[in-house]
Amino acid sequence: EDQVTQSPEALRLQEGESSSLNCSYTVSGLRGLFWYRQDPGKGPEFLFTLYSAGEEKEKERLKATLTKKESFLHITAPKPEDSATYLCASLGSARQLTFGSGTQLTVLP
């Protein structure tokens, strides 16, 4: 059974204070590792897909990286508008997304 664990559950940062979110995964036949952003009461917004260990992708202040067991979402110099829940999900041979419980990020001005 595929499993995804995210840490920390919640993270409070001051504006400009860089940090990283962790996603540990166990999946049979990884077809992709996904990062989504979710605002309260809304659907998840797609950020990145990573397909193989060593791959990195960047978008504005966010950078996602992938190893054989973990993925990291690095946030550089965050702003208050980056506050949201960040979800990690794996896609395996069962062809269904398995999500972690998310990291709730709060960036204080």
Partner 1 sequence: ETGVTQSPTHLIKTRGQQVTLRCSSQSGHNTVSWYQQALGQGPQFIFQYYREEENGRGNFPPRFSGLQFPNYSSELNVNALELDDSALYLCASSIPPGTGNTEAFFGQGTRLTVV
Among 66, 75, 84, 89, indicate the residue that binds partner 1 (CB under 8 A).
Answer: 89
Q: Does 11 bind partner 1 (CB under 8 A)?
A: no
Restricted to residues 43-82, the positions that interact with partner 1 (CB under 8 A) are: 43-46, 49
Among 3, 7, 28, 96, indicate the residue that binds partner 1 (CB under 8 A).
Answer: 96
Among 7, 8, 12, 42, indicate the residue that binds partner 1 (CB under 8 A).
Answer: 42
Query: Which of 26, 18, 9 shows the shortest CA–CA distance to 70?
Result: 26
DSSP E strands: which ranges in 8-96? 10-14, 19-26, 32-38, 45-50, 56-59, 62-66, 70-75, 84-91
Give the DSSP letter of residue 29.
S
C-beta of 66: minimal distance to partner 1 in Å? 14
Name the CA dihedral angle for 77, 82, 86, 88, rounded to a multiple of 10 degrees: -50
Give me the residues that bind partner 1 (CB under 8 A), please.
4, 6, 31-32, 34, 36, 41-46, 49, 87, 89, 91, 94-102
